[in-house]
């Protein structure tokens, strides 16, 4: 039992811990252009499981993150929007 856990950890340690930012950057690069990453990483990313019933590939996270960052910069400071409005106007 212990040997199986150690083998699993050794097989996945390169994509976790301190390497996570490097691997995420490689994956973003792979999504934009699979030929731009080393063959070993391209093979690894090609073999990642796809969600059941999904024919499409992942989309890069950076454009989504950038869009949220831009939305945050465009919002007016000091304005709070309530998630649920009870219809009452409370002034402080």
Which tens digits make up the pLDDT trace of 22-44? 888 999 999 889 999 999 999 98
Name the residue ranges covered by the structural domains of the chain. 1-48
Write out the DSSP string of 10-71. HHHGGGSGGGHHHHHHHHHHHHH-GGGS-HHHHHHHHTSPPPTT--SPP--HHHHHHHHHHH
Tell me what the pLDDT averaged over the chain comes to: 75
Taking every pair of Cα atoms in the chain, the longest distance, rounded to a whole number of angstroms, is 63
pLDDT surpasses 70 at 9:
no
Query: Which pLDDT does position 56 carry in this prediction?
Result: 64
Among the ranges given (49-53, 55-59, 87-91), the one the predictor scored with the smallest mean pLDDT: 87-91
């Amino acid at each position: 039992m212990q040997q199986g856990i150690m083998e699993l950890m050794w097989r996945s340690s390169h994509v976790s811990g301190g390497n996570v930012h490097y691997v995420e950057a490689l994956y973003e690069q792979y999504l934009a252009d699979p030929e731009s990453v080393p063959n070993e990483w391209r093979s690894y990313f090609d073999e990642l499981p796809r969600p059941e019933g999904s024919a499409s590939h992942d989309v890069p996270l950076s454009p989504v993150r950038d869009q949220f960052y831009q939305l945050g910069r465009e919002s007016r400071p000091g304005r709070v929007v309530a998630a649920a409005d009870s219809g009452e106007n409370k002034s402080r």
